[in-house]
Amino acid sequence: MEPVTTTVMIGAVVGYLTRVLKDNKSIGDFFKDFTDASVTWIRPVFLEDDDAATPKKVLSNLQENPDSTARQEAVKSALAIELENNPAAETLLKDMYGRIQGAGIHIDNTGAKIGQQNVNATVTNTNPNFNNH
């Protein structure tokens, strides 16, 4: 089995967060599925330090439109930056990824690379007048 890349793990975490938000659940519901150590690491990426209930812009944007690829990419980038700042946190990311995989949750964008869109997407045109000049 091929090793899982950091990008794939970040994609899984963001995909899971997106799914939680789409189900009209809170960031607290997302956090409860992970260890305290993982939550301690990832929490400042999403919430203001001075107020645990106030989402940072990256999270509030995703909450407004969880289907937005650009907003999902912003969250992926925020997590990637956090890993650059704290490379030791990769073990926490691996733990989060393992819990997501262990729960049998299928995330559509786990193979997505940061900056990549429409991964394994099929576009079907249902408009019979499309490209008819």
CA 114 – CA 77 distance, rounded (Å)? 7
For 88, the token pair is 């030791």
Q: What is the pLDDT of residues 91-108, one digit of tens each?
A: 999 999 999 998 766 555
CA 45 – CA 48 distance, rounded (Å)? 8
* pLDDT, position 111: 45
CA 91 – CA 110 distance, rounded (Å)? 18
Q: What is the pLDDT of residues 3-17, one digit of tens each?
A: 789 999 999 999 999
* pLDDT, position 102: 85
* pLDDT, position 1: 56
pTM of the complete model: 0.74
* pLDDT, position 119: 43
* pLDDT, position 103: 76
Mean pLDDT of 46-68: 89
For 72, the token pair is 């999902």
Measured CA distances, 24 to 14, 18, 29, 84, 87 (Å) = 15, 10, 10, 31, 32
**Residue 125 pLDDT > 50:** no
pLDDT above 90 covers a percentage of the chain that reads 62
Sign of CA dihedral 71, 74, 80, 82: negative
- The residue among 9, 71, 51, 64 whose CA lies nearest residue 34 is 9
